[in-house]
Amino acid sequence: MRVYEGLEGLEGLDMLSKITASIQIAATPEQVFDYTQDYGKRLSWDTFLRIAQLQGADKAASGVKAWCVSKHGLGMETQYVSFNRPNVTAVKMTKGPFMFNTFAGSWKFDAAENSGTLVTFTYSWSLRFPFSLISPVLYRILLSNVRKRLADLKNCIEREIGMHHPVPA
């Protein structure tokens, strides 16, 4: 059983598929972490979602649950299993589309050598049969989606945060 960085404690999951994508953003890890974990701002950059809400909490934290619905209408409840500002967050699916047997994700924020942040999104999942038959198609769709979300995050954060809080040289 492989355990992916940021997904410790999920050893019982049967993770058959995994995607990872990264982008560099001209902001500090603290700025990027805080921006991505602010659910009041989530829909301004996360173009994949039409609903993003924390459940029973005002701020994201370990143990907190979130409800997100994609633009396609698929809803998923996740629970934060790691919240280590400004380095990493990780979630696991607690309720979701029937096609997923398991789903987990982590977002890493690493300081880059040129004073920016390397943001890495990693998602791992297994599909129930017969959805597992379309795993290669879903892989390509999710990878494309993750790359677009990262590009949208970069554009929004550099436009919004860069105006008010330039990255130190």
pTM to 2 decimal places: 0.83
* Secondary structure in 3-state letters for 26-81: CCCHHHHHHHHCCCCCHHHHCCCEEEEEEECCCCCCCCCEEEEEECCCCEEEEEEE
pLDDT tens digits along 126-139: 999 898 888 889 99
- What is the average pLDDT value for the chain, to the nearest integer? 88
List all residues 6 or more positions away from 87 whose beta carbon is below 8 Å from its beta carbon.
Answer: 29, 33, 108, 109, 110
Report residue 164's pLDDT band, with 50, 70 and 90 as the boundaries.
Answer: low
Q: Is the pLDDT of residue 6 over 60?
A: no
Q: Is the pLDDT of residue 122 over 60?
A: yes
Return the pLDDT at 163. 54
Distance between CA 119 and CA 110 in Å, rounded?
7
Return the pLDDT at 160. 87
Long-range contacts of 62-65 (CB under 8 A, 24+ apart): 65/94
Edge-first strand order for the sheet with 49-55 is 17-25, 117-127, 100-111, 88-95, 75-84, 65-70, 49-55
Q: Is the pLDDT of residue 20 over 80?
A: yes
Q: How far is CA 157 from the centre of its chain?
A: 15
Domains of the chain from N-terminus onward: 17-164 (3.30.530.20)
Q: Which residues pair with 63 in a beta bridge?
A: none
Q: What is the mean pLDDT of residues 105-112?
A: 96
pLDDT tens digits along 63-97: 999 999 999 999 999 999 999 999 999 999 999 99
Can you tell me which residue has the tokens 């209408």?
73
CB 60 within 8 A of CB 83: yes
pLDDT tens digits along 45-67: 998 999 999 999 999 999 999 99
Backbone angle region of 45, left / alpha / beta, with phi > 0 → left and psi within -120 to 50 → alpha? alpha
